[in-house]
Amino acid sequence: MKYNSLKDKKIVVICGWISREREVSLRSGKKIYDALLKKGYNVTLVDPKIEGWGPVLSGDMVFIALHGKPGEDGTVQGLLETFDIPYTGSGVMASSLAMNKVMSKKIFIASEIPTPRYIGLEDFKSIDEFISSALESIGLPLVVKPVSEGSSIGVSIVRDRKDLDDIVTDTVDKFGDVFIEEYIEGREITVGVLDIDGRLTALPILELIPKNEFYDYTAKYTSGMTEFIIPARIKEEKYKLAQEFALKAHKALGCTGFSRVDLVTDRDDNPYVLEVNTIPGMTDLSDLPAMAKAYGIEYEDLVEIMLYSALKDKK
């Protein structure tokens, strides 16, 4: 694809707004804006919380750099479709499904994509019944997660029975719907998926070694808190399998253009898909730019590839 057909369009990069990931979104948006400016595009940077939606809806095309709800879950995508404004990344349905980790897992299971065992609070009449079932069917250690948040916000690894009740109750109070997932001891890895000239490509796998217990919000966005290893140190056949599962998960949810698929491997390097992120972080410390660079794509070129996903049909 020749990357010049959008140079005469008014492109709006939206970031910030009202999610729990506002600060990271602002950083992503500024980096994306600078990259498009450097490439010669007619681009403006808008934070709808400050400037409202007027400047967004007056653009010809929108580059969405909103992380988490309500920018990554289909809400903004639906608004832009109402006004017939092309936008980057996945459509309404795929965005909504990917943000809801329980719905994602149901689709993964139906698509024969390995994912850690789980149970959802929605299937039980009380929190006590939910916890008892989790202990019986999954056992300790386990992971407590909000159903619809990004950047590992609200995620807790629970190893001690005495902590479980308080952690589950606190997570429900803060986030509403939650689920409990099997804890798999192993490597944390992530796979970038990028549509390059019409070919869906799995980028080199990034292995994450956080200084915290796991790759949480602090480890993701604080310099020096996580070591990146590319390519991930897993067996060759398992490496290829992880890339295959990442592509399969991206397709199963109906994603468009790009995504970042988070996985965990067990002690035998068997990969399990945790979730798909439809608007990955694009800061200096983010995973997708690091994987793209390992593939041979510099940051500005990655942003340009992502921009042209706005021209693709959404599911």
Catalytic annotation, residues: 21, 151, 221, 260, 262, 275, 277, 281
Rounded Cα distance, 315 and 307, in Å: 17
The dihedral built from the CA positions of residue 172, 176, 181 and 183, taken in this order, carries a sign that is negative
In a 10 Å sphere around its CB, with 0-12 CB exposed, 13-18 middle and 19+ buried, how is residue 272 labelled? Answer: buried
Structure tokens at 107: 């689709």
The Cα angle at residue 81 between residues 80 and 84, in degrees rounded to 5: 90
Cβ neighbours around 151 below 10 Å, total: 21
Residue whose entry in the numeric block shows the structure tokens 């606190």: 170
Residue whose entry in the numeric block shows the structure tokens 């400047």: 55
**Contact (CB, 8 A) for 85 and 57:** yes
Rounded Cα distance, 18 and 261, in Å: 24
From the list 311, 310, 287, the residue with the least C-alpha distance to 299 is 287
Beta bridge partners of 271: 265
Q: CA of 12: how far to CAs of 17, 294, 307, in Å?
A: 14, 28, 11
